[in-house]
Amino acid sequence: MALDLVGDKWSLLIVRDLMVRAYRTFGEFRNSGERIATNILSDRLHKLETGGIVQREPAAKDGRSTNYRLTAKGIALAPVLLELLIWGAHHEETDAPCAAVEQMEQNRGAVIAETYRRWEQRDPTPLIPQFTSKSKSQPKLKPNSPKGKTKR
């Protein structure tokens, strides 16, 4: 079942960080601000690798370090993750600026295309910059009509 692979909080955050923030190393995930314990991070990375969502590869710089990368199966989660990010901004407080989420919402196809392009070309530039909140989280976006219910 799909939720067995990515249905827990930490697995989704790892996939998000690989896809959106361009994280590649264990240290980047560990220091992401989510406060994931190292034993849980190791377990989830192993689970995602076993499930074919993530693959390990030697770092190009020294060959001794390990980088993580989404597989084709993992990057195929891009549309789902984008919708979760947008949904979360409408219904929960988030560190993401409203303007950034609104841009993603209005340009879904372009965001997905850029996500795939970066994955295919191994572009290390983050799709979305990391949001820092020194003050309060951003307010929720105004709820709108459900998406995806267009006539076919």
Q: What is the pLDDT of residue 90?
A: 87
Average pLDDT over residues 16-24: 93
Average pLDDT over residues 77-91: 91
Domain extent listing, the chain: 2-120
Query: Structure tokens of 26?
Result: 């264990």
Measuring CA to CA, which residue among 93, 85, 4, 2 is closest to residue 44?
4
Q: How confident is the model at residue 141 (pLDDT cuts 50, 70, 90)?
A: low
pLDDT tens, position by position, 58-74: 988 887 889 999 999 99
- 5-33 b/e with 16+ CB inside 10 Å = b? bbeeebbbbbbbbbbbbbbbebeebeebe
pLDDT tens, position by position, 111-140: 999 999 999 999 999 987 665 554 445 555
Mapping DSSP onto H, E and C, the string for 34-69 reads CCCCHHHHHHHHHHHHHCCCEEEEECCCCCCCEEEE
Q: What is the pLDDT of residue 132?
A: 57
Q: What are phi and psi of 127, to 5 degrees?
A: -65, -40
Mean pLDDT (the chain) is 84
pLDDT tens, position by position, 28-64: 999 988 889 999 999 999 999 999 999 999 988 887 8
Decide yes or no: CATH 3.30.1330.40 for domain 2-120: no
**If you ran DSSP here, which 8-state letter would residue 138 be given?**
B
